[in-house]
């Protein structure tokens, strides 16, 4: 991997990281290339090695539907962790903003490796929990802010 | 005969006056405007757009929404790193909500 210690591999040494990387395959995308679409079966988790990935969600503008950018992922960051979380369906859509390269790791191979190497499995599970937990905290705060505005509007 | 005609003319005039008086009593009251209550005026839609809702194209509005999401995301991130009630409800510069 070109990326220094991606967030999913934090705490793993170089040898353990190399073994996990070998489980995956390279995916290259040109600008606007689609990585996955909301609702798709999520069988692979991705790590951005190069470029930028845009996460979008469909919103209705009158009678039209548009994809609205929600978040951006940069080198070292994980994309598509829905592959590791039941029911294994993507809840956002992802596409490349620029020429991008990602490592795609199949869930089945990764889970099997984590079971065979419990110390590696623990490290990856902890990193995944950190990523998911952070996302939950941020979106919980965003939801609270919207709720506060709705309440303030009621009393205005 | 002359006196009879004068009497008949006067009674006709009295009957017409009475009819007008009765009609005015049963006439529907005119609408009244109460000074203390706001008067709702129809929106000015024919020749000028409402100044409060500037016309944006779908693309411009989508960009406003994306900017709002970025600002809210940044505000939420700063709350997560230093959680306080003030930072949770801090105002952003998003034009979508202010």
More confident residue, A21 or A5: A21
Task: Give B-chain residues touching A138 at CB under 8 angstroms.
Answer: 73, 76-77, 80
State chain A's mean pLDDT as an integer. 95
Residue A46 pLDDT: 98
pTM over 0.80: no
CB B61, CB A61: distance < 8 Å: yes
- Are the beta carbons of B76 and A71 separated by less than 8 Å? no
Contact A120, A65 (CB under 8 A): no
Cβ contacts of A77 within 8 Å, gap of 6 or more: A6, A7, A47, A48
Please tell me which of the candidates A61, A66, A137 has its beta carbon nearest to residue B80: A137
pLDDT of residue B92: 81
Q: Chain B residues with CB inside 8 Å of A68's CB? A: 62, 65-66, 69
Predicted local distance difference test score (pLDDT) of residue B31: 44
B chain contacts of residue A61, beta-carbon cutoff 8 Å: 58, 61-62
pLDDT at A97 over 90: yes
ipTM: 0.80
Q: Most confidently modeled of A112-116, B22-26, B80-84?
A: A112-116
pLDDT in tens, A32-76: 999 999 999 999 999 999 999 999 999 988 888 889 999 999 999
| Chain A / chain B CB contacts < 8 angstroms | 44
Beta-carbon separation of A141 and B75 below 8 A: yes
| Domains of chain A, residue spans | 7-155
Q: What residues of A are in contact with residue B88 (Cβ under 8 Å)?
A: 141, 144-145, 148
Alpha-carbon gap, residue A129 to A139, rounded angstroms: 15
| CATH (one of 2.60.120.10, 3.30.420.40, 1.10.3720.10, 2.40.440.10) for A7-155 | 2.60.120.10
- Say how far apart CA A51 and CA A72 lie, in whole Å: 10
Is B65 near chain A, with CB under 8 Å?
Answer: yes
pLDDT digit string, tens, across residues B2-38: 666 666 666 656 655 555 555 554 444 444 444 444 5
**Residue A11 above 70 pLDDT?**
yes
Give the count of alpha carbons within 13 A of A51, CB side only: 24
Residue B40 contacts A where some CB pair is shorter than 8 Å: no
CA distance A53 to A59: 19
Nearest CB neighbour to B76, from listed A62, A70, A141: A141
């Amino acid at each position: 991997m070109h990326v220094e210690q991606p967030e999913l591999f934090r705490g793993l040494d170089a040898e353990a990281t190399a073994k996990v990387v070998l489980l995956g395959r390279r995916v290259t995308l040109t600008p606007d290339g689609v990585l996955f679409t909301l609702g798709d079966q999520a069988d692979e988790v991705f790590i951005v090695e190069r470029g930028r990935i845009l996460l979008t969600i469909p919103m209705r503008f009158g009678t039209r539907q548009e994809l609205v950018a929600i978040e951006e992922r940069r080198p070292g960051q994980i994309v598509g962790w829905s592959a590791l979380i039941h029911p294994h369906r993507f809840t956002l859509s992802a596409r490349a903003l620029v020429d991008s390269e990602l490592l795609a790791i199949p869930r089945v191979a990764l889970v099997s490796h984590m079971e065979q190497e419990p110390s590696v499995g623990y490290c990856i599970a902890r990193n995944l929990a950190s990523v998911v937990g952070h996302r939950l905290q941020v979106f919980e705060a965003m939801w609270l802010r919207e709720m506060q505005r709705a309440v303030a509007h009621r009393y205005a | 005969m002359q006196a009879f005609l004068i009497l008949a003319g006067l009674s006709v005039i009295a009957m017409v006056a009475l009819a007008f008086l009765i009609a005015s009593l049963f006439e529907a009251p005119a609408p009244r405007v109460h000074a203390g209550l706001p008067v709702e005026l129809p929106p000015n839609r024919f020749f000028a757009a409402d100044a409060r809702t500037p016309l944006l194209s779908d693309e411009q509005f989508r960009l406003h929404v994306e900017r709002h999401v970025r600002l809210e995301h940044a505000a939420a991130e700063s709350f997560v790193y230093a959680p306080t009630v003030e930072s949770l409800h801090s105002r952003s510069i998003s034009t979508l909500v202010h």
